[in-house]
């Protein structure tokens, strides 16, 4: 039975989770808190006894750090620590398992062996492997990781990449390699994680993420919701958003709508555009730095479809992925999604929605996020 990473999109990319008795390395850029990945793994597998070897701070600091998040504490509270830090400062450790001399790799290994022999460990977190390399400069670290995983224990190592030349050398020693990088795009810094190595089949697409009080979530900082006048864009945004605001006059959007969505491990900022032609310049402004677009059309008004296609030309110039929400499916005169797709003549996903109730709206958003993350690899279709 695979161990979940605690991050749904990562589990999808590694065929359901990490296999037992394998080694995993989370290779992070400086500034990215790789511990959040470890916390997700611990929290997602409460039935599995885990151990946490820490060599760069006190175990109590890890306990405090974990409680900054809103994870349940059951799995974390039963976890055992291996203190490979305190005695290195000449201080006694209050942990049951601790290296007698944290400056000596042999002593750290002995403490680790004590946990493996005494506890039924399923997962071992090593925080951090890069720190242990710098401190001990000894290949026995990797030999010991190999010995532990051969006992059926999944070993998860956190590694901060200070020197890019180390990346390939370290990666070749592990079964799973997850990269967490900070990438600059058009003067903006964004975090991405990516599976670059795994046993069997895996998906290697960069997934944008952010770390918040709820841990790691797939984060799309800008999705545009656009469409012709009175197609239901504002209602779409307000119905699915955790919080939303509109700038309107006499019931019509005259500037923009903004919504923030938190749902099932992802978060998204939505920006809605006015539908009137006189506000068309807003499309070019809002499309900058956007990740994708939901085009909302009124399924009862095919005469507006040509206008919808015109609005998509503004999207196409930026090469943004998009899906089409065939809205107002609850009305008798609504065309079914398949007919909407045919009349639009576009090779795109079309999803039936009812913005007033929210039906289909979250499905449209989830599908667009899949298109963004998977790089438009899937074929278009009709839904609902």
Q: pLDDT tens across 177-214, in order?
A: 999 998 876 546 789 999 999 998 999 988 999 998 88
Same domain for 166 and 52, yes or no, is yes
Q: List, for residues 134-158, the tens digit of each pLDDT value.
A: 999 878 999 999 999 999 999 999 9
Are 182 and 234 within one domain?
A: no
User: Is residue 199 situated within a structural domain?
Assistant: yes
In this prediction, residue 238 carries a pLDDT of 93
Strands (DSSP E) found in the chain: 23-28, 50-54, 80-83, 97-98, 123-127, 154-160, 176-185, 188-197, 207-212, 215-226, 243-249, 252-263, 266-272, 292-298, 322-327, 349-352, 382-383
How many residues are present in the chain?
384
Please state, rounded to an integer, the average pLDDT across all residues of the chain: 89
Give the pLDDT mean for 26-31.
94
Coil, helix or strand for 164?
coil
Q: Give the residue-averaged pLDDT of 14-34.
A: 95
Has residue 217 got a pLDDT over 80?
A: yes
Which of residues 247 and 125 earns the better pLDDT score?
125
3 lies in some domain = no
Distance in Å from the first CA to the final CA of the chain:
34
119 and 258 inside one domain? no
Does a structural domain hold residue 119?
Answer: yes
Is the Cβ–Cβ distance between 75 and 42 less than 8 Å? yes
13 and 147 share one domain: yes
Same domain, 187 and 234: no
The total of other beta-carbon atoms located within 10 Å of residue 206's CB is: 16
Count of domains forming the chain: 2
**Domain identity same for 306 and 375:** yes
Report the C-alpha gap between 139 and 196 in whole angstroms: 23
pLDDT score recorded for residue 1: 77
- The DSSP string of 132-158 is HHHHH--THHHHHHHHHHTTT-EEEEE
Average pLDDT over residues 104-122: 94
The confidence score (pLDDT) of residue 378 equals 47
Residue 289 has phi, psi (to 5 degrees) of 65, 15
144 and 12 together in one domain: yes
Q: Is residue 234 part of a domain?
A: yes
Answer whether residue 2 is part of any domain: no
Q: For residues 148 and 124, is the Cβ–Cβ distance under 8 A? A: yes
Domain that holds residue 242: 219-380
Question: Which residues sit opposite 295 in a β-bridge?
Answer: 226, 324
pLDDT by residue (tens digit) across 237-287? 999 998 888 665 445 444 578 999 988 788 999 998 875 555 565 666 666
In the prediction, which pLDDT does 315 show?
66
Assign 342 to helix, strand or coil.
Answer: helix
- pLDDT bucket at 296, cuts 50 / 70 / 90: very high
Clarify whether residues 59 and 196 are in a common domain. Answer: yes
- Render pLDDT for 306-361 as a digit per residue (tens, 0 to 9): 999 888 877 666 678 899 999 999 999 999 999 999 999 988 899 999 999 999 99
Query: Residues 46-94: pLDDT tens digits?
Result: 999 999 999 999 999 999 999 999 898 888 999 999 999 999 999 999 9
pLDDT value, residue 244 = 81
Q: The domain that contains 202 carries what CATH number?
A: 3.40.50.300
Q: Which is nearest to 173 in space by CA: 202, 145, 201, 150?
A: 145
Looking at 168, 184, 212, the residue that finishes a domain is 212
Same domain, 267 and 203: no
| Amino acid 377: pLDDT | 42
Clarify whether residues 208 and 225 are in a common domain: no
* Dihedral pair phi/psi, residue 126, rounded to 5°: -115, 115
Same domain? 223 vs 203: no
Of 286 and 232, which is predicted with more confidence? 232
């Amino acid at each position: 039975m695979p161990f979940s990473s605690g991050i749904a999109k990562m589990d999808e990319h590694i065929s359901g989770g990490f296999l037992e008795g394998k080694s995993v390395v989370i290779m992070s850029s400086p500034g990215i808190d790789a511990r959040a990945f470890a916390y997700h793994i611990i929290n997602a597998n409460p039935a599995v006894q885990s151990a946490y070897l820490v060599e760069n701070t006190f175990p109590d600091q890890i306990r405090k750090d974990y409680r900054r998040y809103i994870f349940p504490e059951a799995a974390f509270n039963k976890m055992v620590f291996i203190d490979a830090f305190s005695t290195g400062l000449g201080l006694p450790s209050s942990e049951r398992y601790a290296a007698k001399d944290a400056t000596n790799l042999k002593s750290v290994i002995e403490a680790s062996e004590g946990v493996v022999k005494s506890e039924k460990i399923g997962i071992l977190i090593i925080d951090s492997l890069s720190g242990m390399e710098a401190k001990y400069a000894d290949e026995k670290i990797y030999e010991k990781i190999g010995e532990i995983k051969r006992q059926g224990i999944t070993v998860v190592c956190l590694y901060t990449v200070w020197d890019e030349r180390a990346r390939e050398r370290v990666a070749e020693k592990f079964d799973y390699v997850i990269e967490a990088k900070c990438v600059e795009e058009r003067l903006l810094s964004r975090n991405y994680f990516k599976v670059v190595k795994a046993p069997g089949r895996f998906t290697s697409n960069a997934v944008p993420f952010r770390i918040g009080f709820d841990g790691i979530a797939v984060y799309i900082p800008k999705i545009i919701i656009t469409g012709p006048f009175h197609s239901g864009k504002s209602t779409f945004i307000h119905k699915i958003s955790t919080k939303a605001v509109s700038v309107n006059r006499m019931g019509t959007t005259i500037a923009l709508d903004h919504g923030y969505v938190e749902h099932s491990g992802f978060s998204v900022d939505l920006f809605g555009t006015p539908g009137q032609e006189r506000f068309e310049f807003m499309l070019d402004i809002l499309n900058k730095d956007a990740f994708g677009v939901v085009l909302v059309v009124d399924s009862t008004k095919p005469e507006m479809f040509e206008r919808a296609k015109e609005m998509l030309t503004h999207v196409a110039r930026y090469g943004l992925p998009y899906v089409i929400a065939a809205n107002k499916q609850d009305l008798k005169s609504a065309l079914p999604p398949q007919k909407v797709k045919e009349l639009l003549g576009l090779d795109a996903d079309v999803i039936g929605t009812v913005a007033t109730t929210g039906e289909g709206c979250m499905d449209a958003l989830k599908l667009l996020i899949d298109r963004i993350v998977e790089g438009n690899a899937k074929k278009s279709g009709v839904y609902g």
